[in-house]
Every structure is written in structure tokens, then in C-alpha cells.
Amino acid sequence: MNAVLCPLEDAVAGIAGGARLAIPPDYSGVAMAATRALLRRGTRGLRLVCCPTAGLQADLLIGAGAVAEIETAAVSLGEWGPAPRFTAAVERGAIAIRDATCPAIHAGLQAAEKGVPFMTVRGIIGSDLLAHRDDWRVIENPFAAGDPIVVVPAIAPDVALFHAALADAQGNVWVGRRRELVTMAHAAARSVVTVEALYDGDLLADERLAAGSLPGLYVHAVALAPSGAWPLAFADLYRADEAHLAAYARDARDDAGFARYLARHLAEPRAA
């Protein structure tokens, strides 16, 4: 087996406690099988960077006590309602929150991707977010007097974690049109990726797939995990398990219900 390709448990072993971990939104390839593997390891102290929002994945990690800090524009279960464990943690003051906006998080990742210390953002001016982010600055546009602009620092995660459709033996990963995953991987020190299937060949040598592929240069570990985004939807391959998500939203409203959910669904890669 190529050093990049490894079993799921080995892939997540490289995500240490306290790591700054970048995760994608629910519509963009969430590594749920890897998330359950992290929880089985008892990982603690993660500093989540949601790129730019999160849902079930963040809620599970927070509820299990794996998260110390989260930077996000929102955490929600969407049509299934508020994220219950995130809400409880906020009310209890159990996690630190770095409130952000979608453009600000994307800009911070792009700064790290480009190797520059900050990126400018226009739309934050006039909001109360500036009062809560002492690491954001308002400066004057050096090319136009009287034109204020916000600068946000680079966001450089330790690890980017996501799920994709294909990877090859060289660690190249096909992400298709989900370019935010490429930005995450470029910004992070390394990437851990789960995939639906392995590609027999070189993704970068295939004219049909090369443009949508992340080069293995940015990928530290790849694990084969069919249905690895379940119970969330993934691309055009499978829909969200609506019954499961509705049950989670109901069960996770209190500590006891969440504990029962973990007991039922943590051990198996895809529990019924």
C-alpha cells in the first residue's frame, strides 16, 4: 500500500489533540466516517475552522467534548433545526467562539494559500463583529484616501479534513467543482481525505479529471471510506439520510439523549 493510502484509523491518527482543524460545510464533502474515528480515539482540544459554516460534524465533535474553540459563520442542522450540542456548549460557555463571516473565513484561507499575512474584506465595516474580533483591523486604503478597509489575518489550519469521490495511488484527489476544498488544502499544513473509491490510474494524467483534481502534494493521508459522508448527502452519489438526521436533532437535545446516540452510532462505520 502506498504511504499516502492507509486505513481510516491510521489516517486520523495524524490529527493530534489541540490541532487547528479545517472542515467544510455540509454540502461540500464532510468526512463523517473520519469524524466518528476521531471520536473513537478520544481526540480533545480541537480548534475548528469551519469553511465557512458547519453542521452535524461540528455538533458531534462539540457534544463529545472534542472541541475547545470554533471559528465559524454559523453552525446549524439546516432544515432539522439548530445544532443542539453547539447551542448547549455556547449557553454553558464550554467552548471559545471566534465569530466570523463567510467572506472573512474564505479571505483568511486565501491569505494562507497565497503565503501572505492578511487579506482585505469590504463587507464587515458597519457590523458589530469588529468589536468582537481584536485580530481584525480597519485600515485606510493606501490607494484612495478616506476609503476604510478591513484586513483579516491568514487562517493556516494544521489539518484540512474532508471527503471526496476519488483518489489515486499518488494521493491525487478528485474534488470536482468543490473548489473550496482545494483552498482548504492549500491553506493547511496537511490534508487528511476520505474517498468513496480509488481510481486505477493517474488523475492528473486524465484530461477529463485533471482540472477537478487536488495534487497529492497537498495530501498527507487518504483512506477509502465508501459512504464516508453518511448520514449527510454527498454530491450526486447519495442523498442525506433524513430519518437519521431528524432522529439526531431530536435525541441530541439533551445530554442523555446525545450519549445514547453516541452509544448506538459511534462504533460502526455506518450504523442503521
What CATH number does residue 87 fall under? 3.40.1080.10
Domain total in the chain:
2
- Residue 272, pLDDT score: 38
Task: Please check whether residues 57 and 29 belong to one and the same domain.
Answer: yes
What is the distance between the alpha carbons of residues 272 and 270, in angstroms, rounded to a whole number? Answer: 7
Task: Please check whether residues 240 and 174 belong to one and the same domain.
Answer: yes
Residue 270 within a domain: no
Task: Please check whether residues 193 and 256 belong to one and the same domain.
Answer: yes
**Which positions ≥6 away from 206 have C-beta within 8 Å?**
none
- Residue 99, pLDDT score: 96
pLDDT digits (tens, 9 = 90+) for 155-187: 999 999 999 999 999 999 999 999 999 999 999
Is residue 250's pLDDT more than 70? yes
Residue 217 within a domain: yes
Residue 272 within a domain: no
Confidence of residue 1 (pLDDT cuts 50, 70, 90): very low
Task: Please check whether residues 26 and 65 belong to one and the same domain.
Answer: yes
Question: Shortest CA distance to 166 belongs to which of 196, 142, 191, 141?
Answer: 196
Task: Please check whether residues 54 and 129 belong to one and the same domain.
Answer: no
Residue 129 within a domain: yes
H/E stretch holding 213: strand 213-214
With cell 465533535, the residue in question is 61
Task: Please check whether residues 62 and 184 belong to one and the same domain.
Answer: yes
- Residue 270, pLDDT score: 52
Length of the chain: 272
**In terms of residue numbers, what domain contains 227?**
8-103+155-265
- Residue 2, pLDDT score: 58
Average pLDDT of the chain, as a whole number: 95
Task: Please check whether residues 56 and 144 belong to one and the same domain.
Answer: no
Is residue 219's pLDDT more than 90? yes
Task: Please check whether residues 231 and 208 belong to one and the same domain.
Answer: yes
Confidence of residue 267 (pLDDT cuts 50, 70, 90): confident
Residue 271 within a domain: no
Task: Please check whether residues 66 and 88 belong to one and the same domain.
Answer: yes
Task: Please check whether residues 93 and 135 belong to one and the same domain.
Answer: no
Phi, psi of 76 (to 5 degrees): -155, 150
- Residue 271, pLDDT score: 42
Is residue 87's pLDDT more than 80? yes
Is residue 209's pLDDT more than 50? yes
What is the distance between the alpha carbons of residues 122 and 125, in angstroms, rounded to a whole number? Answer: 7
Residue 65 within a domain: yes
pLDDT digits (tens, 9 = 90+) for 12-55: 999 999 999 999 999 999 999 999 999 999 999 999 999 999 99
Task: Please check whether residues 99 and 216 belong to one and the same domain.
Answer: yes
Task: Please check whether residues 223 and 166 belong to one and the same domain.
Answer: yes
Is residue 269's pLDDT more than 80? no
- Residue 216, pLDDT score: 96
Residue 110 within a domain: no
HSE (CB half, 13 Å, CA atoms) of 245? 22
Residue 113 within a domain: no
